[in-house]
Amino acid sequence: MTDATTARLADVFMHVAKRLRGRWMHQLAPLGLTPGQGRALAVIARGGDGIRMADLAAKLDIVPRSATSVVDGLEEQGLVLRRPDPGDRRSMLVTFTEAGRLLVSRIEDAKRGAAEEMFGTLPAAERDQLLAVLLRLDACGKHPGSI
């Protein structure tokens, strides 16, 4: 592969990622959420009975201060609560409110809709091939615990 091909691949990949994010933003707008908040809610949903703020930041691959800002916004919307972690009183757990729990399926629908807009033009075999390639790339240099 030439340097020009590698550079073009990076440019096109970033352009497609931005377009997908834009479509997801459009799908999430009626819910009053940003993509970052949607991702955070999905991670919190997988956390079961709550997730520590530090673990949320790690799984989102963001700094703890950014996770605090995301949770602040979700808390202001009445979607999550913070409570002391019974296993470590220095830590806070983030849990859903009932409104947050109900919103998770709508977030998944929005994500699916954005993905269908983007990838629906590809035949199933090409989508499978693209997924396999992206999973291989995602595994390269991935931080333990990130999504």
Task: List the chain domain ranges.
Answer: 14-139
Edge-to-edge strands of the sheet including 88-96? 51-52, 88-96, 80-85
State the pLDDT at residue 139: 86
Cβ atoms < 10 Å from Cβ of 127? 14
> Which range has the worst mean pLDDT, 47-51, 53-57, 72-76, 141-145?
141-145
Q: Which CATH architecture has domain 14-139?
A: Orthogonal Bundle (1.10)
The answer to whether the Cα torsion of 137, 139, 140, 141 is positive or negative is positive
Average pLDDT estimate for 27-50? 88
The answer to whether the pTM exceeds 0.75 is no
> Which range has the worst mean pLDDT, 11-20, 126-135, 137-146?
137-146
State the pLDDT at residue 144: 54
Higher pLDDT, 142 or 89: 89
Average pLDDT estimate for 55-70? 93
Average pLDDT estimate for 57-86? 93
Higher pLDDT, 74 or 28: 74
Q: What is the mean pLDDT of the chain?
A: 88
